[in-house]
Structure 1
Amino acid sequence: MAPTPTCLLTLVVALTFLLLEGPAAAAPMTAERQREVQSLLKQLNKPPLATIESPDGDIIDCVHISKQPAFDHPLLKDHTIQMQPSSYPGGLYHDSHPITQTWHQNGKCPENTVPIRRTKEEDILRASSIRMYGKKSPGSIPNLNSINGPSSTPSVTSGRHQYGVASAPVGKGYGTKATFNLWRPTIARAGDFSLTQLWISAGSGNDLNTIETGWQVYLNLYADNNPRLFIFWTNDGYQTGCYNLCSGFVQTNNQIAIAGTLSPVSTYGGTQYDFDILVFKDQKGGNWWLQVGSSLVGYWPSSLFSQLADSASTIQWGGEIFSGDAGQTSTQMGSGHFPHEGFGKASHIKNIQVVDSSNTLNPASGLQLIAGQPHCYNVTNGNSGDFGTYIYYGGSGKNPNCQ
């Protein structure tokens, strides 16, 4: 008997769901799997003292500062919270741009709490596996195969990751500050992501340490296409480490939600919106502090790291996309437009500075450019009075020249 139109429609919907959501959504919810999901939710979601419902659908839990997930990490069991750095880098000669998060429309968290975006069951089920929720795969950092000078675009060993990045080998670096242009790039598939970030790294292989922060659009992680503030760290080449407020990062700020939506976003040929990110190593305590806009958010304790316990050897800035169809995807990087289009059309990172051994911010120099497929995604750099050291980066992905 031929299938009815209703049956065919049901089949199409089911197949579309499987294609978009991947194996995790298709996996049966066995009793064991349900227990694993609930165990992870209990670990991630701490009892709140207050709760705020955001207009974008997020639930923000205001968790007591001493109960945050950071202290689940075995190295931080007896950690004493540092509320302020011992000093700031000198040379902060550019004004900080404030940031706005959507959840602020409905309230703020009280003193002695930190805002944490609540993880839901469906968030975990969108991941490729429960074990991989909130994690990155190895090879998630731009790597140079060869360097031909500061204006080169060397090939990249990146697998399904594509980059438009500027890299500065710094010998001994102690942080960076830059101003990040904010956009909402189009994502082709639910499993793709597009981000703009900085990397602070040292070591290699299984001893690679990184601190990462910026904004990203990642449907499978956040269930929407909003640009969100994110952080990430690893101390073993991405074997472990995780996005946002998992164990490790100690938040001290009660107004900035890691993983919260950032707004407003820039428009092509229209108003541009930027915000500043500063990451620096505290001279006395050794912790790596994060400041977003004019607000100190918190820190990565030095005890988490082997290589970064001392200093960084490389600092990078730029865009990254991930896709199972790398080279064929139409997932956008930055604004979705190429660097040659310039201000207001291509995405930029400006006033790029590096903290040196004297705890002073200086303009980054000697930048090496990384674009493995420049006809898909590219990056250029320059220097000007208003922009300081800057890059334009991004691209549309799949196009007649992108092979």
Structure 2
Amino acid sequence: MDFALKLAAFVFIVYVVQSRETVRIVKSFKLNANIMYDCVDIYKQPSLNHPLLKNHKIQMEPSFSISKRKFKVKSERRSKKSIQCQNGTVPIIRNTKEYVANAQYWAEKHFHSLTVKSHGTHIAGVISRDQGPYHGLATWMSVHDLNVSRDQISYASIYVGSALNEQLNFIQTGWMVNPSLFGDRRTWSFGIWKGANGAGCLNTICPGFVQVSKTEILSGPFPYPRKEERALSVSIVQDKESGNWWTADIRYKGPDKFIGYWPKELFDVIDISAEMVGVTGGVQASPSGISPPMGNGHLPTEDESDSARVKNLRIVDSNYNVKDGFQIKLEKLIDNEKCYGLIAGKKRFLKVSNLFTYGGPGGKSCGI
């Protein structure tokens, strides 16, 4: 499998480092039967126990502000069970034995290093890798509920990454349905990274991601379907001054909500910039070879109301200038047109209204 396909695929190596320090819990929020968030002192959050962050000073807010064209459609990440931590505290997921064990299971049994073939992984998306280096990207993507079994995953995400010799770094965030990990069949937001020495982490299972917001979380369930469309406007942008990689919810109205960041110290290849950026839908098949649905579970059409879709891609170039997707050369990545599809959007009035539609039903004959 081509390196770009491998990077775009949802693959990672998780190691679990649990802090032995007792952290005082101010307040807790239960998102489902298995997932609990605790409000803890921002300066005592477990991520700061990472050995590479020994002398790290928390960056309370980014130095940049991306000027953006307002999205014409709303987006929403927050669950109805919203989190409201007190000033000076941040929400940190409680790493129960079951949650950690489920993450380890998926890392060891269903995901592979980018140096080997990722069996059962299929993707449909776009990538830019010839006009870098890059300092980030942001986009709007529709969010969907899917019928995914406990031994499958379906997701959509943005990512930044680079490879140098045998070293690989990447950051990926978006939404996914993963019943085995979360303990339910809802759609959740997520974030993963892989950095120096091959270390990596899903969400905040191990130290690394620094939480800054007291209300917005990296991984939480989306509200159940309503009359309005559900969508996520998400970003990964490197701060020019600190080098940290920030993620935020881009809001339809009002200021963007910065969640937190992956510190520069975690990386040895994308500490300065990234060589590729992309947006992709993807799936991980069950051990039996049955592939789950992707996107909204249907093959894409040019009628965006019937399809899973990605819009308003913006890329931060080597000079930290924000460019619209149509200004950047994008390659299509799709590895199985039998089960999944991708249709590029059309330029309308010098802007891309619809970057691409994608998805498919999956099934028994999608291959590995």
When the two structures are superposed, what TM-score results if normalisation uses the length of structure 2? 0.83
The corresponding residue for 2:88 is 112
The Cα of 1:330 is off from its aligned counterpart by 4.1
Segments of 5+ residues of structure 2 without an aligned counterpart are 1-15, 251-255
* Correspondence 1:351 to 2:328: no
1-structure distance, mates of 2:217, 2:54: 23
2-structure distance, mates of 1:309, 1:128: 26
* Correspondence 1:242 to 2:242: no
The corresponding residue for 1:67 is 44
Contact 2:19–2:46 (CA<8 Å) still a contact in 1?
no
The corresponding residue for 1:209 is 169
Contact 1:289–1:299 (CA<8 Å) still a contact in 2?
yes
The corresponding residue for 1:333 is 294
2-structure distance, mates of 1:130, 1:199: 20
Contact 1:47–1:63 (CA<8 Å) still a contact in 2?
yes
2-structure distance, mates of 1:311, 1:335: 33
Which structure's residues are more often helix, by fraction? 1
**Is 208-217 or 46-55 further displaced after alignment?**
46-55
User: Which whole-Å deviations, capped at 9, do the CAs of 1:172-203 have from their partners, x for residues lacking one?
Assistant: 11110100111112213x12111100110112
* Correspondence 1:396 to 2:361: yes
Contact 1:177–1:354 (CA<8 Å) still a contact in 2?
yes
Contact 1:60–1:103 (CA<8 Å) still a contact in 2?
no
The Cα of 1:125 is off from its aligned counterpart by 3.7
Give matches, 1:83-94, under 5 Å: 83-90=60-67, 92-94=68-70
The Cα of 1:382 is off from its aligned counterpart by 1.9
* Correspondence 1:126 to 2:102: yes
**SS of the residue aligned with 1:79?**
coil
The Cα of 1:275 is off from its aligned counterpart by 2.1
The corresponding residue for 1:186 is 147
Choose from 343, 347, 350 the match for 1:380: 343
Return the letter of the residue paired with 1:101: R
**Is 73-82 or 384-393 further displaced after alignment?**
384-393
Q: Among the aligned pairs, what percent are the same residue?
A: 25
User: Which whole-Å deviations, capped at 9, do the CAs of 1:197-252 have from their partners, x for residues lacking one?
Assistant: 01101124631110110011111211111111111110259x42011123111110
Choose from 363, 368, 372 the match for 2:331: 368
The Cα of 1:273 is off from its aligned counterpart by 1.7
The Cα of 1:67 is off from its aligned counterpart by 1.6
Q: Aligned pair in 2 of structure 1 residues 374, 46: CA closer, same or farther (>3 Å)?
A: farther
Number of equivalences: 340
User: Which whole-Å deviations, capped at 9, do the CAs of 1:325-376 have from their partners, x for residues lacking one?
Assistant: 48x4241111111122631222111001101133222122321111111111
**Is 73-82 or 355-364 further displaced after alignment?**
355-364
User: Which whole-Å deviations, capped at 9, do the CAs of 1:126-169 have from their partners, x for residues lacking one?
Assistant: 35659859x9531399xxxxxxxxxxxxxxx5422110111111
When the two structures are superposed, what TM-score results if normalisation uses the length of structure 1? 0.76
Return the letter of the residue paired with 1:283: K
Return the letter of the residue paired with 1:213: T
**SS of the residue aligned with 2:298?**
coil
The corresponding residue for 1:26 is none
Q: Aligned pair in 2 of structure 1 residues 355, 186: CA closer, same or farther (>3 Å)?
A: same
**Is 78-87 or 41-50 further displaced after alignment?**
41-50
**Is 210-219 or 334-343 further displaced after alignment?**
334-343
2-structure distance, mates of 1:206, 1:198: 23
Contact 2:211–2:261 (CA<8 Å) still a contact in 1?
yes
Contact 1:348–1:390 (CA<8 Å) still a contact in 2?
yes
1-structure distance, mates of 2:76, 2:316: 23
Segments of 5+ residues of structure 1 without an aligned counterpart are 1-38, 142-156
* Correspondence 1:176 to 2:137: yes
